Copies of this chain bind each other. A is one copy, B any other.
Amino acid sequence: MDDILMMLPGPTNVAPRVLRAMSQTVVNHRGAKFGEIYTETTEMMSQMFKTENQSYLLTGSGTSAMEAAIANTVNPKEKIINATGGKFGDRLKDITTIHGINSVEIPVEWGDVLDPKILTETLDANEDTKAVTVIHNETSTGVHNPLKEIGKVMKNYDALLIVDTVSSLGGDYVDVDKYGIDVCFTGSQKCLAAPPGLAAITLNDEAWKATENVDSHTYYLNMPKYKAKGNSVPPQTPYTPGVNSIYGLLEALKMIEEEGLDNSIERHIKAAAASRKAAKALGLELFPKSEKIASNTVTALKMPEGITDSDLRNTIRDKYRVEIAGGQDHLKNHVFRIGHLGTISYKELAITYTALGMTLKDLGLDVDTGAGASAIAEFYSE
Contact = CB atoms under 8 A, between A and B. Distances in A.
Interface string A62-90: 11101100010000000000000000000
A323 interface: yes
Contacts of A22: 22-23, 244
Interface stretch (A7-15, A126-134, A156-164, A168-176): A7-15
Contact of A60 (B31, B64, B244): B64
A196 B243 contact: yes
A295 interface: no
Nearest to A317: B31
A231 interface: no
Contacts of A99: 216, 219
Given A61-B220, A63-B220, A244 B243 contact: no
A59 B28 contact: no
Nearest to A197: B242
Interface string A201-212: 000000000000
A1 B33 contact: yes
A26 B14 contact: yes
Contacts of A116: none
Nearest to A13: B26
Interface of A: 1-2, 4, 6, 8, 10-14, 19-29, 31, 33, 59-64, 66-67, 71, 94-95, 98-100, 187, 189, 195-198, 216-221, 238-245, 248, 323
24 contacts: A1-B24, A2-B33, A6-B26, A6-B27, A6-B28, A10-B240, A11-B240, A19-B244, A22-B22, A59-B59, A59-B64, A60-B220, A62-B240, A63-B238, A64-B239, A66-B219, A67-B219, A95-B219, A98-B219, A197-B197, A197-B241, A220-B221, A242-B245, A245-B245
A2 B29 CA distance: 13
Contact of A98 (B66, B217, B243): B217
How many copies of this chain are found per oligomer? 2
Contacts of A21: 23
Contacts of A240: 10-11, 61-63, 187, 189, 196
A218 B216 contact: no
A186 B217 CA distance: 23
A23 B243 CA distance: 14
Given A1-B25, A71-B218, A196-B242, 19 more contacts: A1-B27, A6-B28, A11-B29, A19-B244, A21-B23, A22-B244, A26-B196, A29-B196, A60-B239, A61-B220, A62-B239, A63-B240, A67-B218, A98-B219, A99-B216, A195-B242, A197-B242, A244-B244, A244-B248
A242 B14 CA distance: 13
Contacts of A23: 19-23
Given A26-B196, A196-B26, A248-B244, A60 B63 contact: no
Contacts of A33: 1-2
A177 to B, nearest CB: 27
A325 to B, nearest CB: 8
A140 to B, nearest CB: 13
